Structure 1
Amino acid sequence: MDSTLNAAAATAAGETTALKSSQSLDDLIEEHILPRLDPEFLEYFANTQARAAAQSGEGPSYPSIQDVRAHPEQYRAPCALDTAGYPGVTDLACPSQDGSSIPVRIYHPDGVTHGTGPFPVHLNFHGGGFVLGDLETEATLCLNMREAGVVVVDVDYRLCPENTWGKCIQDGWDVLRWVRESASQLNINPTSVSIGGISAGGHICLVLQHMARDAGIPLKLCMASVTPATRGLSYTYYTDSPFPSFHEFHRGPVLPWARIKYFGRLCMPPEKLPELQNLWPSWWFEPLEAPNWHNLCDTFIRTAEVDPLRDEGEAYAMKLVAGGNKVTLKRYLGCPHTFMYIDSMKRKHEYDRDAIVALRTAHGLG
């Protein structure tokens, strides 16, 4: 293997793509995984393999949380963007039930194209393993989603380890209620609300989906992507998972088992797990264990084919179906975890278009 894809990947792609590579891809990606990956992801991965290889190592290869907090610019998602001050973008703060303040960034759609409102509203919860992420992480995705003609509220929920896991869900709940109560200030329609998130953020919105149903708060849509079951953060080893994809891709190029354990040590260290389990309902850790699957809002579940969390997200969708709910499930072939952060992939742009269509349909915008 030199500066081109190996034969298996080239065959899968139907072409040979030139790569800037100091190491061969088959040194970095396991043989059974490589042919299944989208060639555009492979090119991206080869061009950034020094960082990717470091993130695929065992624990010592990961930076300390102190370093991450001191130099956040070095660890941002590839799609991150500082949109503060952009036209139609406003920063506000939502009061939390425990006296804290939750930063939110509000994206209003263009008035020339979409009218003067009031608009439907969509709450976004970013990914990052409950440890990483801020209002820059998914800003480009929020800019895209407002093109549906909805106001997008991006939520900077509290992260671990500085905060106890579960505060993220409380923050999500507080923002959901605050948005509905602040309809006039935000120029939104409080009866047309949707929620969504990626990875850890997807987990948050799945829990909120059940909480909203129980509280009588109607939601138009829950749009969750590459969603984990948080119980995996407390596994001793990857074989503890009952899901085949967790085993098959435990050494995948984006979210390997070592990365999951890194997040787990920061969110749910073994010595604190009993305390955490006493603080929150058990199904908050594992939404698949939620006690009631009836009368939930419409749901759009999106998974990535080459993702250890794929089967968990699809199992959640099947539980919704069994509960009599309306569900759309889409698996993006050839894609790893958080592929939607990579602008050079056509599948990422397909993901963006799917989000706009889903939001317009859910909110009755045509």
Structure 2
Amino acid sequence: MTVHPQIRAALAALAEANLPAIETLTPERAREVFNAMSRARGGTPAPIAKAEDHVAEAEGLKVPVRIYWPEGVGPHPAFVFFHGGGHVIGDVETHDKLARNLCGLSGAVVVSVDYRLAPEHRFPAAIEDGWAAYEWVRRRGADLGIDPSRLAVGGDSAGGNIAAVVAIMARDAGYSDIRLQVLVYPVADFTFGHDSHRRFAEGYGILTADAMRWFRDHYLSAPDDARDWRASPLFASDFGGLPAAFVATADCDVLSDEGTAYAEALRAAGAVVEHREYRGMIHGFLAMTPAIDDAARAQADVAAALKAAFAREPAS
């Protein structure tokens, strides 16, 4: 539970900036702060062929998406990506560099989904948008230079939550096109019953235990929603028949235990699971390039997992 020296330096810089705690802010102000932090990160993203904004129309919804195409001749596999931010903050802009990196490193088209945010649009709006975007990619993929038989879903934090739920919904719909679910420090249990919520309650970056309660209270429509599997996928009644998973957890993160528990639930039900815990890392580290070496390593790990999944024959 000792933070990496690079993370220690990042935490010192955060303390010096004296930013207000998320749970003291309005959602609008929290978005402004988060967006500013994202813009402040330097680095040059991996080269890609192009990026375009589109609208995914499916399930009676119109969901904005940003599509990133890799270099080279298609059709390419596709990674439907959901950004993090507690279902309240974040958008395609805050995760633009990350999406570009994952596209360039993996050779897959990345479809970054700008789902509706709470509290303006509470649970299950984000799930509905995530499902609609996935359905749109399934149906329209060939028109976009995508091989619709080779898809993946994934995201970080709240995005990992949405991806896990979409994977369950796809299984229940009888679909078999998802080759991999990429769950990076996912929100898996809104009851907050895991010990990491106590161990890392404060002092490990902006995601404190109080911040998680703030996100939950803005996102969920009612207290009972915390045990609805569409909000807390660890409460799903059946984990059988789900796609392979790459699960990444951060060692010093309030969500570390529930991410580990979700990986174990998938593995126990027969899914092929690669679980990597990044020692000394905190929540949100995946996007902290170029300052954090393990952020670049984790992005490369995600890309390698995507490549391997897309190269495998689909499960029978």
| TM-score normalised according to structure 1 size | 0.78
| 1:3 counterpart residue number | none
In structure 1, the partner of 2:143 is 185
Paired residue secondary structure (1:48):
helix
Equivalent position to 1:137, from 83, 91, 94: 94
What secondary structure, in the 3-state scheme, does the structure 2 residue paired with 1:283 have? coil
1:140-187 CA-partner distances (Å, limit 9, x unpaired): 111111121110000000000111221111111111110011123211
Q: Deviation digits for residues 338-366 of structure 1, max 9, x if unmatched?
A: 1112111111011011011111101118x
Secondary structure of 1:292's match? coil
> What's the counterpart of residue 27 of structure 2?
65
Q: CA deviation at 1:261?
A: 2.0
| Residue number in structure 1 paired with 2:198 | 247
1:321–1:191 CA distance, 2 compared to 1 (3 A): same
C-alpha offsets along residues 271-299 of structure 1, whole Å, 9 cap, x if unaligned?
x415x74xx98211221111111111110
Between the aligned partners of 2:9 and 2:149, the Cα distance in structure 1 is: 44
SS of 1:217's partner is coil
Aligned to 2:161: 203
Post-superposition Cα deviations, 1:210-263, rounded to whole Å, max 9, x if no partner, equal: 11111121210001011113524xxxxxxxx43121111111322111211221
Measured in 2, the distance between the counterparts of 1:330 and 1:66 equals 34
C-alpha distance in 2 between matches for 1:161 and 1:128: 13
Does the C-alpha gap of structure 1 residues 80 and 260 become closer, same or farther in structure 2, counting only changes over 3 Å? farther
Does the CA-based 8 Å contact 2:227-2:235 persist in structure 1?
A: no
Separation in structure 2 between the aligned mates of residue 79 and residue 220 of structure 1, nearest angstrom: 32
SS of the counterpart of 2:79? strand
| Aligned twin of 1:17 | none
User: Matches of 1:231 and 1:77 in 2, distance apart?
Assistant: 29
Whichever of the two has the greater Rg, that structure is 1
Amino acid aligned to 1:119:
H
- Kept after mapping to 1: 8 A contact 2:68/2:109: yes
| CA deviation map 1:37-63 (0-9, x unaligned) | 00001112212324466337xx4xx32
1:229 corresponds to which residue? 188
2:276 maps to which of 318, 330, 344: 330
Shift of 1:87: 4.7
Q: How many residues align?
A: 307
Q: Quick one: higher RCO (CA 8 Å, sep 6+), 1 or 2?
A: 2
- After superposition, the Cα gap between the structure-2 partners of 1:328 and 1:53, relative to the gap in structure 1 and judged at 3 Å, is same
Unaligned runs of 5+ in 2: none
Separation in 2 of the partners of 1:156 and 1:129? 13
Q: Distance in 2 between the 1:257 and 1:356 partners?
A: 30
Q: State the AA in 2 paired with 1:166.
A: P
- Asked if 1:340 corresponds to 2:286, the answer is yes
1:315 aligns with 2:277: no
TM-score for both structures, normalised by structure 2: 0.89
- Conserved? CA contact 2:68–2:100, under 8 Å: yes
Match of 1:122 among 79, 83, 92: 79
Structure-2 residue corresponding to 1:95 = 57
Partner secondary structure for residue 285 of structure 1: coil
Counterparts in 2 of 1:252 and 1:136: CA distance versus 1, 3 Å: same
- Letter matched to residue 161 of structure 1: P
1:173 aligns with 2:96: no
Q: Which residue of 1 aligns with 2:8?
A: 42
**Contact 1:121-1:193 at 8 Å conserved across structures:** yes
Residue number in structure 2 paired with 1:74: 36
- Identify the residue that residue 230 of structure 2 maps to in structure 1: 284
Alpha-carbon shift at residue 264 of structure 1 (Å): 2.3
User: 1:14 is matched with which residue?
Assistant: none
Q: Which amino acid aligns with 1:225?
A: V
1:192–1:363 CA contact under 8 A, matched in 2? yes
Q: Is structure 2 residue 215 aligned with structure 1 residue 263? A: yes
User: C-alpha offsets along residues 122-148 of structure 1, whole Å, 9 cap, x if unaligned?
Assistant: 011000000001111211111111121
Which AA in structure 1 matches 2:194? F
Counterpart AA for 2:274: T
SS of alignment partner, residue 250 of structure 2: strand
| Cα distance in 1 between the residues matched to 2:292 and 2:71 | 26
